[in-house]
Structures are given as C-alpha cells and as structure tokens.
Structure 1
Amino acid sequence: MAIEMGRPEAGALGDVVRVLREWQDDAAPVQLHPGDVGWFWRFGAERTAEATRTWSRAGKVVAVGLLDGADLLRLAFAPEAFRDREVARQVAQDVSAPEHGVLPDGKVHVEAPTGALVQDLLLEGGWESGEPWTPLRRDLGAPVPDPGVPVEVIGPERAREWAAVLRASFDGSTFTEERWHAMAAGAPYAGARCLVIRHEKGEAVAAVAVWPAGKGRPGLIEPMGVHRDHRRHGYGRAITLAAAHALRESGSSSVVVCTPSSNVGAVATYRSAGLETLPERRDLYRDAS
C-alpha cells in the first residue's frame, strides 16, 4: 500500500504530538520527541504546522518530520517502521527531491534515529555523514539527588524572566516573552514545565524546559541554559538535576537529551548530573549546490 506524505493543518497537530508520544520508548533509539515539537511551537501553531511532515500508510502515520530550520529535517518513525523498506524508500525519495517540498536545493541535513533504514538508503543515494551528536539518558527509576538550590516553576507571570535567562544563555538567541506564551499554548506543553534556579541574591541564573511524553516514557530536556555571567558555579548540573526530578514526578521513565558532540561543556554538564552517554550518531547531509 502506498506511503503518502502530508502536511497537517494547525488544528491537527495535537494528533501528531499524540503519535510521537506513543513512539517514545527507552528500548528504542532517541528520536524526534513531542518536546522538540513543543519547543518549536514558540513560533506559533501555524508555523509549526508548516514545518511538520507526516508519512502515512492506510491512514496510519508511520513517520514524522520536523523542519528545524529551512535546511534540517528531524525524523521519527513508528516502531514497526524503523526498518520498513517501503516507508524508508518513500521518505528518502521525498527528502532527496527538492520538488517534493521537504528540503530545498543546496546543502541540507537529515537527522534520523540510529538504526533507521532511511539512513542506509540516503547513504546509498549519495548523502554523506555529517556532524556527530551525543545522546544522553538517565534512568528515573531511582530517586534523583536534590539539586541543592531552590527551584522555581515558571508560569505566565514570570515568562519575561525565563526568556531573559535563556537569551543570556545562548549567543544570538531571540527568545521573547511572547514566544514563551506561544510555546505554552501548544498541545505538547500539557504536563511540561519551565524551571529556573537563582543565586543567593535572587537573580535567575539558569533555566530549563522539561517535556514529559507520558507515564513510563522518556521525557526530554529542551532547552537548558546557564546565564553567561554565572557559569562554572555548578548551576548547569543543578538545573539538570531539577529537570530530572520534575520529570520523575511526572511519571517519566527516563530523561533524555541530545547535544552536538562538539559542545563538550554541555556533555560534561549532563554527565555530572548522572546522564549516561549513548552511542554517538551523525546527521546526514547532501550538498547539491
């Protein structure tokens, strides 16, 4: 039966999020998470819908893609579709042909879960291995150590403060209070939390968003940042522990995160909070310019 690619309407994104939640499993490779869609939702529902692609067979979604920028497609697959040749062939064909409206001409990237057959087909089709990424995971079956500092859950009245910490954590960040409200209005934010920690003078110095996928499923950290004026004081470890604690309270089975391997500081911070590195993976790229 044919595999059909589609682009959901904004009102149907909740169904896509539900499917992504069902696909999250500690026994499976880390892949596109509903929290990734939730973080993208800071740009609003319409733009999130425009960036989303689904592949379906007989009306059932078997793969989901998120255009995280114009030149990067991040993929997730239903468990039964990981090595499904028909699904992989159609996804590879769609992402490789600019006329199909997924990725443009020029240098483009695809991030697929480790072991997905689509990786093999793209490499056979001339794509090349690109940037290495490090996934990390911490099991939440056991209690999480106390972060050692007060942790605050941020609501709408403190959105401006959370946004300010995030801007001070990432060079070039344009995150605003308005984008926080757009993110919090999205379907993936149900059960999610934004946290901050403060130093002794009361200033917020680190921020994180945590995204559960449901009880017994992995939860995601995205993003996590420490104010550039307050680094090297253990705040990254503390806010990561706070995130893990919040996800455990929500019933998540584990906490996962994925960061560029070149960001050695982030990898070290996550490991200091008890996350274990998983096998490194690489995105794939094609340069047709």
Structure 2
Amino acid sequence: MSIILSTPKVDELSSAAEALKRWQLDEGALQLHSGDLGWHSQNGVEATAAAIRMWSRDGEVVAIGLLDGRGLVRLAVAPHRREDAALARRLTADLDDPAGVLAGDGDGGATVEARGAELLTQLLLERGWERDEPWTTFHRTLSDPVEERGLRVETIEPDRAEVWVAVHWSAFRGSVRTDADRRRTVGRWLTMAGGPFYGDARSLAIFDENDDAVAVAAVWSAGPGRPGLLEPIGVHHGHRGRGYGTAVTLAAAATLRDLGSSSAGVCVQSSNLGAMATYASAGFTPSAEVTDLRRGPR
C-alpha cells in the first residue's frame, strides 16, 4: 500500500509518543525522542499536534517529524525502516518540496535533522542539500549506580516552577526578566507539566551551599529498558565554571536510572566545547559526529 502523510489530532499524540519510545536505541545517533515532543508541548497540545507529521504504511507509523520552527524538521525513522528505499524516496520528496512539509525559513531555505537515517541523507544530498553544522551525541549506560556530587537535588513540582524557570532563563538568555517574561515562561512550564507527555519526565534543580538554585535539567524517560533523554540542561549565568553543569548532568542520569532507563542520551553542537567537556566529565561517551542537512534559498 501507499505511504500516507498525516498530521495527528490531539487524541492521537499518544500514538506518536509511543512510536518514538519504541524506536530509541542505546547506541548510535540520537534521533527525535518522545521527550522532544514533551519539551515542545510548552506551546500547548494543539500546537504540538499541529507541528507533527507522521508517515504511515498499512496502519504502521514508519516515520515522524516535528516542525521545530518554520524551516526545521526534526525526524525519526523506525529503525527497521531506515533502509526502506520506498520510504526514503517518499520522505525525500516530501521534505524537498518547498510547498510540502517544510515551508522554509522565509527565503525557501530549510533544515532537516535526520540522525541515523543514512539512506534518506544520501538522497537529500543527491538533490543538492548540503551538510550543516556537526552535532555530537553523548550516551551513558545506566546499568550501574550514578555517583553524584553531594549537592541538594530537588524534583520541581508546579508550585516551585518559578525556581526552575528562573535558572533556565539565566542559562539560555542571560538577560534580566521582566514580570511579563516571568509570567509567560512559568505559564509555559505549567502547560508542559500539565500535558500528556510529562508523566515520563522530571524537572530537576540543584542548589549550592547557600541553598541557591544554580543549575537545572529536564529528563524524559522512554520507558523501562529504553534510553532516556536529557533536554534541556542549563547552569545559571552567575554560577558557571564551578562544576554545576557536571553535577546536574549526574543528577539527571541518576533520575533516569531510577525511572528504569537503560541509558541517558544528550546531543550537543560540536562547537560547544564547554558542554562537550561537561558531558564527558559526567561519564558520557561521545558517538561519531552527525550533521543536519540544509537546503539553500529557492
């Protein structure tokens, strides 16, 4: 039968998440994870459903894409379908069509994240797409207990959302927040925490000797015996260079182990040398670099 492209309804989000959980592997490139849907759900479940594209054949979901902005799709292909030539050709056609899955970033340019989908990558390259910036996936097996750094770790509940959000803002923006910023970001976190994916997640904060929150992480389980995801991880701008990134990474790995995950994974731009060093110091092992694929203006 033909391959069908669809956008799920809100009540179909669980089937997309379950497929992504089944497709996670302990080794190799870290493709789209159910936790990525969870993090995106800060935008609300309706917006998250609208951003997902599913390719199905004979009732089986074989590929899932998340539109993460106007010109970027983050893709996962069922592991047993990655060398399926018909599927790779269909994905290539849908992704390369400027009027198709990717509307482009304003000038017709677009980016595809398709880690591990080698046949699809080759077909896009043959159509003139180019390799973009390199990323490195880090994995840590969780078969053994994780040694932590002795700092206080708190699993953040909704009544403490402000603590987590304030550190995250500082880590990724480094600017002063207005009251409007605070209300908006706390509201987004609460939307995520009340959404359909958060049962598999934990938001963590670690505190220094003065009991100040200094670093945060969110972790997403794909179920017992499967790899979990660290996304995001951040250290408060005023507390960098003191080992808190390693400490919160270890706390995140320990939490995933408690949730039954077989390993912990995170992917980082290879140019981010500080993050690369942090994950290595937390006992994570890098895999070979992978690149996004970029289509120029049309």
Contact preservation (8 Å) 1:65, 1:74: yes
Kindly provide the CA deviation profile for residues 195-254 of structure 1, in whole angstroms up to 9, marking residues without a partner as x.
Answer: 001112211110000001000100000000000000001100000000000000111000
CA separation of 1:76 and 1:196: change in aligned 2, threshold 3 A: same
Shift of 1:27: 4.3
The reply to whether residue 261 of structure 1 matches residue 270 of structure 2 is yes
Shift of 1:186: 2.3
Q: Distance in 1 between matches of 2:54 and 2:87?
A: 11
Name 1:84's counterpart in structure 2. Answer: 84
Q: Distance in 2 between matches of 1:47 and 1:25?
A: 28
Name 2:204's counterpart in structure 1. Answer: 195
Q: Distance in 1 between matches of 2:14 and 2:206?
A: 31
The reply to whether residue 162 of structure 1 matches residue 159 of structure 2 is no
Kindly provide the CA deviation profile for residues 129-148 of structure 1, in whole angstroms up to 9, marking residues without a partner as x.
Answer: 11100100000011111222
Shift of 1:28: 5.0
Q: Distance in 1 between matches of 2:139 and 2:203?
A: 20
Name 2:230's counterpart in structure 1. Answer: 221
SS at match of 2:99: helix
- Paired residues in the alignment total 289
More displaced stretch, 244-253 vs 105-114: 105-114
Shift of 1:101: 3.9
Contact preservation (8 Å) 2:228, 2:264: yes
Contact preservation (8 Å) 2:221, 2:259: yes
Contact preservation (8 Å) 1:3, 1:56: yes
Written as runs of structure 1 = structure 2, the 5 A alignment for 1:110-189 is: 110-171=112-173, 176-189=185-198
CA separation of 1:278 and 1:27: change in aligned 2, threshold 3 A: closer
CA separation of 1:19 and 1:250: change in aligned 2, threshold 3 A: same
SS at match of 1:169: helix
SS at match of 1:267: helix
Query: What letter matches 2:127 in structure 1?
Result: G
Shift of 1:187: 2.1
Q: TM-score, normalization: structure 2?
A: 0.94
Q: TM-score, normalization: structure 1?
A: 0.96
Kindly provide the CA deviation profile for residues 151-181 of structure 1, in whole angstroms up to 9, marking residues without a partner as x.
Answer: 0000000011111110000027967111111
SS at match of 1:187: coil
CA separation of 1:72 and 1:172: change in aligned 2, threshold 3 A: farther
Name structure 2 gaps, 5 residues minimum.
176-180
Kindly provide the CA deviation profile for residues 62-84 of structure 1, in whole angstroms up to 9, marking residues without a partner as x.
Answer: 00000111111110011211111
Q: Distance in 2 between matches of 1:94 and 1:147?
A: 47
Moved over 4 A (4+): 172-175
SS at match of 1:21: helix
CA RMSD, 1 decimal: 1.4
Give the % identical residues.
49
The reply to whether residue 55 of structure 1 matches residue 64 of structure 2 is no
More displaced stretch, 82-91 vs 23-32: 23-32
The reply to whether residue 24 of structure 1 matches residue 24 of structure 2 is yes
Q: Distance in 1 between matches of 2:61 and 2:75?
A: 13
CA separation of 1:4 and 1:27: change in aligned 2, threshold 3 A: same
Shift of 1:99: 1.6
Kindly provide the CA deviation profile for residues 34-71 of structure 1, in whole angstroms up to 9, marking residues without a partner as x.
Answer: 01111111111111111110000012100000011111
CA separation of 1:75 and 1:172: change in aligned 2, threshold 3 A: farther
Name 1:275's counterpart in structure 2. Answer: 284
More displaced stretch, 113-122 vs 202-211: 113-122
